[in-house]
Amino acid sequence: MKRSFIREILEHTNSQTISFAGGLPMASLFPHEALRNSANQVLKEPSVLQYGNSMGLKALREKIANFYNQEGFETKAENILITSGSQQALDIICRYHANRSITIEVPSYLGAMNIFKLNNLKQEAITLERDSIELESFEKSFKETQLAYLIPDFQNPTGLSYSAEKREAITKIAEQGGLIIEDAPYSKLYFQEDQKSISSMMPKQSYHLGTFSKTLAPALRIGWIRADKTLLEPLIAYKEAMDLHSNGVTQAILNEYLSDNRAYENHIELLRGAYGQKMQFFAQSLRKILPLFEFVEPKGGMFIYGRIPHTNTSKLLKQALKNGVVFVPGAEFYSDNHGENEIRFNFSLASEEEVVLGLSKISNLLNLKSLL
Amino acid sequence: MKRSFIREILEHTNSQTISFAGGLPMASLFPHEALRNSANQVLKEPSVLQYGNSMGLKALREKIANFYNQEGFETKAENILITSGSQQALDIICRYHANRSITIEVPSYLGAMNIFKLNNLKQEAITLERDSIELESFEKSFKETQLAYLIPDFQNPTGLSYSAEKREAITKIAEQGGLIIEDAPYSKLYFQEDQKSISSMMPKQSYHLGTFSKTLAPALRIGWIRADKTLLEPLIAYKEAMDLHSNGVTQAILNEYLSDNRAYENHIELLRGAYGQKMQFFAQSLRKILPLFEFVEPKGGMFIYGRIPHTNTSKLLKQALKNGVVFVPGAEFYSDNHGENEIRFNFSLASEEEVVLGLSKISNLLNLKSLL
């Protein structure tokens, strides 16, 4: 097993490094006072510190189920398995389906590809186009694999989203037989409109992965799998063997925080506004400072993806790292030799000053290169 | 995969059920006020809610390393990998060593045997005797497997401990080549004396697993692996793929709690006294109420293990469950058909009234059975 490029890069940076690399939320937006109050409340009871249920805290599972119900996607607590982040959610599912083949988007989420390798899942990579995975190839591949991993909302790394028509088309294909793993960490961080999940159109053949890492705070390490009971049931033994149950303290804190109906909704609303602005600023700065960088503005999420023609971005990163700025070169998101000119920029973390300074450093490196 | 017997049993009980089943600490002893103060302190900083390092919070790893140093077992932060409980610690190691054979004690920890199955490790079971795994068979098996899983302190389920001489003998055998996984969740819960770990005698060939679940609170879900850097390094990629990193909030709470040098030490001292008394009371009650139960008093930990001759304890459990009392029948701890007459009682959770009432219910069931 190779280590995660992003996690390793992040450990080699210091507090002075400007990071456009990880999918990190902006720390100053964390609702830490509200979560602190919740912690203060729940830790009055010693029982919160005891072992918990393998599937997770029932009251929290009910609240998560309710998010789905509010969107018209009928869900009960029994359809929710709480996991140690959605990273573990995907690992549990892939461990259950180990040694199969899986249809994935290319480029795709690095952490997912590591999980596929770990579970000996053979990846069948289908090109991601502007509004969907390429349908004809998808259909052909899915007929064989009967298992797919998709990130339809503000995809990692590309920031692209599936259109409503393509979601329906995929559902029609997948309904013929097989399972979809729909990873949706960014889905509520839309700048314009919410999209219907593919899972809601095929609830009996889908795992829908959610998390509080992007909408509240990653350190809580709470994610979940939403699935039909018959799909979820066999996963419980895996979850138990892997870490008994998810963190009881942060589950209780979350459950308390969510008992105020409006707090979470207001917070996500705040994030949408703030990240929308940050994306705009980053995009404008790119056009001004790095005009060679070709990209499409994302409609949500945390990433701007694009390319600098004739530039090996992996080599560029090595220089950038020395100059105190980091990003993820596109090659990391492919399992073959593609993506050499591509870059993923995270726009949610850095301040405006850091964006200008970081992009200027990259621009200088590009100018230097062209002079040599 | 089968679900964990104990976790499933626990979910089928209600708040009225008297449980001698799980290895649950006594909730009223949790230092919830101190942990609440720590939470209150650390959540003042929004940065505590951000993504963390794959190996865990450096300051916490330093404090854990220091526990070892205080015992003369030289350890640095780089030797500690923080995990989501020691359950995950064992899974990470076994995933790395998947598809091998492993020498284990019989009977052994149920949750470990589930991990071995999950990682396709072939279990070579060696009888656990009163003061050690049976040495001759161990030597023969370990020569082949070069990998062993041992619980030398107040073993789960038997409560037995390895003597100092046997620890040395095992070290001599293992040093010839191979790795020991030493699981030590109960080691600090001794009633008489602390024992030297096997790992400390062979630091380059051992994984030592620790946890705060038994000495502080399980819901924190924080455990660790202590190992030589060369052994630990390849595990980081696994940890990352599995859940990115352990819970940042409870790591920070723990780190704050442990910054008061005496608090944790005093708390464990309190537990030793309280659990020692609880064990004494349970043992006396067994002798009075269930005189047929044959057992040896443990010198620490959370379990009393023994047998009721001519009694199928799995059948007894089914009756007991209907009567509102649960324990774990011995058969669960074996992978073959052994342990039919054996029982594991947990003594750390139930109150004195519950112990008397629960054992009386079991005694009545035994009397009924002998009358039929």
Is the pLDDT confidence value at A118 over 80? yes
A15 and A131 in a common domain:
no
Is the pLDDT confidence value at A290 over 70? yes
- What's the rounded Cα separation, in Å, for the pair A7 and B233? 14
Q: Which residue has the higher pLDDT, A88 or A8?
A: A88
Tens digit of each residue's pLDDT (9 = 90 or more) over B242-289: 999 999 999 999 999 999 889 999 999 999 999 999 999 999 999 999
Residue B358 pLDDT class (50, 70, 90 cuts): very high
Give Cα A230 distance to the centre of its chain: 25
CB contact under 8 A, A221 and B248: yes
A167 and A59 in a common domain:
yes
Residue A99 pLDDT class (50, 70, 90 cuts): very high
Is the pLDDT confidence value at A109 over 70? yes
B152 and B73 in a common domain:
yes
Strand blocks (E) in A273-365: 294-295, 303-307, 325-326, 328-329, 342-346
A229 and A117 in a common domain:
yes
What's the average model confidence in pLDDT over B21-43?
Answer: 96
The nearest CA of chain A is from the CA of B20 a distance in Å of 14
Is the pLDDT confidence value at A111 over 90? yes
A17 and A37 in a common domain:
no
What's the average model confidence in pLDDT over B109-125?
Answer: 96
Residue B13 pLDDT class (50, 70, 90 cuts): confident
Q: Is position A371 within any domain?
A: no
Cα–Cα distance list, B202 to B166, B226, B284 (Å):
14, 12, 39
Residue A71 contacts residue B49 (beta carbons within 8 Å): no
Q: What's residue B368's pLDDT?
A: 85
Report the candidate in B122, B59, B112 with the shortest Cα–Cα distance to residue B88.
Answer: B112
- For B244, the closest of A52, A85, A217 (CB atoms) is A85
- What's the rounded Cα separation, in Å, for the pair B64 and A8? 23
Tens digit of each residue's pLDDT (9 = 90 or more) over A320-340: 999 999 999 999 999 887 999
- For B238, the closest of A1, A218, A253 (CB atoms) is A1
For the domain that residue A17 is a member of, what is the CATH number?
3.90.1150.10
CB B129: neighbour CB atoms within 10 A?
14
In B, which residues are within 8 Å of A40 by CB distance? 36, 39-40
| Average pLDDT score, chain A | 95
* Helix or strand (DSSP H, E) at B370: helix B352-371
CB contact under 8 A, A219 and B48: yes
For the domain that residue B39 is a member of, what is the CATH number?
3.40.640.10
Cα–Cα distance list, A286 to A291, A345, B308 (Å):
6, 10, 76
The residue whose two tokens read 């009075």 is B288
Residue A59 belongs to domain spanning: 32-259
> Is there a cis peptide before residue A329, judged by omega within 30 degrees of 0?
no
Q: What's residue A38's pLDDT?
A: 98
B39 and B16 in a common domain:
no
CB B198: neighbour CB atoms within 10 A?
24
Residue A372 pLDDT class (50, 70, 90 cuts): low
- What's the rounded Cα separation, in Å, for the pair B201 and B162? 14
B147 and B73 in a common domain:
yes
Q: What's residue A14's pLDDT?
A: 82
- For B39, the closest of A24, A39, A111 (CB atoms) is A39
Tens digit of each residue's pLDDT (9 = 90 or more) over A127-138: 999 999 999 999
Last residue of a domain, one of A220, A244, A259: A259
The nearest CA of chain B is from the CA of A221 a distance in Å of 6
Q: Is position A78 within any domain?
A: yes
B280 and B235 in a common domain:
no
In A, which residues are within 8 Å of B242 by CB distance? 87-88, 91, 118, 242
Quick one: what percent of chain A has pLDDT higher than 90?
A: 92
A137 and A91 in a common domain:
yes
Last residue of a domain, one of B227, B259, B291: B259
Last residue of a domain, one of A259, A275, A292: A259
Q: What's residue A350's pLDDT?
A: 95
A69 and A52 in a common domain:
yes
Q: Give the β-pairing of B147-150 and B101-106.
A: parallel
Residues near A35 by Cβ (< 8 Å), separated by ≥ 6? Answer: A216, A217, A253, A257, B43, B49
Is the pLDDT confidence value at B171 over 70? yes
Which residue on chain A is closest to B43 by alpha carbon?
A: A36
How many folded domains does chain A comprise? 2
Is the pLDDT confidence value at A210 over 60? yes
| Average pLDDT score, chain B | 95
- What's the rounded Cα separation, in Å, for the pair B242 and A3? 12
B104 and B250 in a common domain:
yes
Q: Is position A372 within any domain?
A: no
In B, which residues are within 8 Å of A87 by CB distance? 241-244
Q: Say how many CB pairs under 8 Å bridge A and B.
A: 220
Q: What's residue A244's pLDDT?
A: 96
Q: What's residue B7's pLDDT?
A: 76
CB contact under 8 A, B248 and A32: no
Give Cα A26 distance to the centre of its chain: 15
In A, which residues are within 8 Å of B53 by CB distance? 11
Q: What's residue A9's pLDDT?
A: 76
B277 and B192 in a common domain:
no
* Helix or strand (DSSP H, E) at B256: helix B248-258
Question: Picking from A14-23, A225-234, B270-279, which range would have the lowest pLDDT averaged per residue?
Answer: A14-23
Per DSSP, the three-state class of A45 is coil
Tell me which DSSP letter residue A25 carries: P
Mutate to test the interface with B, among A14, A19, A43 (most CBs of B within 10 A): A43
